[in-house]
Amino acid sequence: MSKRPATNHKPLSLIRPHLGELHAYVPGEQPQIKGLIKLNTNENPYPPSPKVLAAVQASVDGRLRLYPNPTAQALREQLATLHGCRPENILVGNGSDEVLALATRAFVEPKRGASSLKRATVQYFTPSYSLYPVLADIHGALKNVVALNPDFTLPHVAELKRSRAWDFQAALTFVTTPNAPSGRGYATAELETLCRAQKGVVILDEAYVDFAEENALALALKYPHVLVARTFSKAYSLCFQRVGYFVGHADLIAALDKIRDSYNVNGLGQIAAVATLDDLKYYRANFQKIIATREKLSRELTALGFRVLPSQTNFILARPPAFPAEAWLQKLRDQKILVRWFSTPTVREFLRITIGTPAEATALVTAARKICASRPPAE
Ligand SMILES: *Cc1c(COP(=O)(O)O)cnc(C)c1O
């Protein structure tokens, strides 16, 4: 360590200057604490289907030395059948995070060198998925950030036009639907009105849509500038394998396909995703269990004095009673329950709680009751 470097390169001077100020995405914690009830990162509490596990296990042999299919062909064909489109309408990525990043690179000009600033703008509502600003910043794009209504519903297009803050020309607009971290679902009709008003690409990020009443997939097949992003992570218990995809117009998909890494989707992930699509019945039963647990947990926390927002996802956003949300985070952690708290002003009074198994939900309610009872009596 004390040796003088062999050359006088200054490593920091070698890095693109705008990365100096970049705030990286902050993932939820993955602590290794025995017995911890982990309700902080919206993972599915149920394991993948036994058929998926068997398919992955059967593939772990000498073939790992081979490259996987470069276009995830079998998976794209199955997804096309599922969604009533062609494989040319599907792009698979290393998680949907990768396809969101590819879209930023394909559709947005970095602000320096952009012929028009419109082409350099990434736009999204707040609060929504906290990866969007990171993708814009990495790319050197402009950000246009507009608040959702205070109850996390979507502002009407007429209001967006009146307020003038929203950019109908933005090169890329991200909409998390259903919304995270609020859990709010949006009607396809209102999403369609918004899409029709946008001149640039619109991405409907449907990471949680399997827990919702409606999905907007039809818009991706109807409008050439609309892409729907889906993931196997949350609803299909496959976070570990990193598989997500876009559905959209073949021309947009072809552009994204040009710039992706040739082997962006790992082989075991492709196998797991194909096996998942072969056993959708298993997953649909899990969605129903999670939705039932979500509704019961919402009622029980409401009875304890929480303000629970309506959710169409596998998590709830809830404002706890008696103590500030940040204090609740620690108090629950002391009882080995991990939830998520965001310091963002619009949600800092809330906890985001992933829906676990019925037993985990019961443990949470028991812990919450104890915490409420520990409140010093009012004077
Ligand atoms: C989890 C999540 C993703 C990313 O999913 P991966 O496929 O695991 O990369 C994308 N969008 C939203 C809104 C999410 O919550």
List phi, psi (to 5°) of 279. Answer: -135, 45
For residues 119 and 108, the answer to whether their CB atoms sit within 8 Å is yes
Indicate the top mutation candidate among 25, 128, 233, 240 to test ligand 1's pocket, ranked by most ligand atoms within 8 A of CB: 233
* Domain 50-280: top CATH class: alpha beta
Residue 373's CB is within 10 A of a number of other CB atoms, namely 8
Query: How many residues are present in the chain?
Result: 379
Residues of the chain with CATH 3.40.640.10: 50-280
The one-character DSSP state at 111 is S
Indicate the top mutation candidate among 75, 96, 126 to test ligand 1's pocket, ranked by most ligand atoms within 8 A of CB: 96
Torsion of CA 234, 236, 242, 246, to 10 degrees: -90
Chain position carrying tokens 């409401």: 302
pTM for this entry: 0.95
Q: Which CATH number fits domain 11-47+281-373: 3.90.1150.10, 3.30.365.10, 3.10.180.10, 3.40.50.300?
A: 3.90.1150.10
Closest Cα to atom 5 of ligand 1: 96
List phi, psi (to 5°) of 92. Answer: -100, 145
Q: How far is the CA of 309 from the centre of ligand 1 (A)?
A: 21
For residues 297 and 355, the answer to whether their CB atoms sit within 8 Å is yes
pLDDT tens by residue, the chain, 379 residues: 567 778 888 989 999 988 888 988 888 888 888 899 999 999 999 999 999 999 999 999 999 999 999 999 999 999 999 999 999 999 999 999 999 999 999 999 998 766 677 799 999 999 999 999 999 999 999 999 999 999 999 999 999 999 999 999 999 999 999 999 999 999 999 999 999 999 999 999 999 999 999 999 999 999 999 999 999 999 999 999 999 999 999 999 999 999 999 999 999 999 999 999 999 999 999 999 999 999 999 999 999 999 999 999 999 999 999 999 999 999 999 999 999 999 989 999 999 999 999 999 999 999 999 999 998 776 6
Of ligand 1's listed atoms, the one at least distance from the Cα of 239 is: 8
Residues of the chain with CATH 3.90.1150.10: 11-47+281-373
**Range list of H helices, 68-128:** 73-83, 96-107
Beta strands 90-94 and 37-38, pairing class: unpaired
Distance CA 20, CA 174 (A): 25
- Secondary structure (3-state) at 174: strand
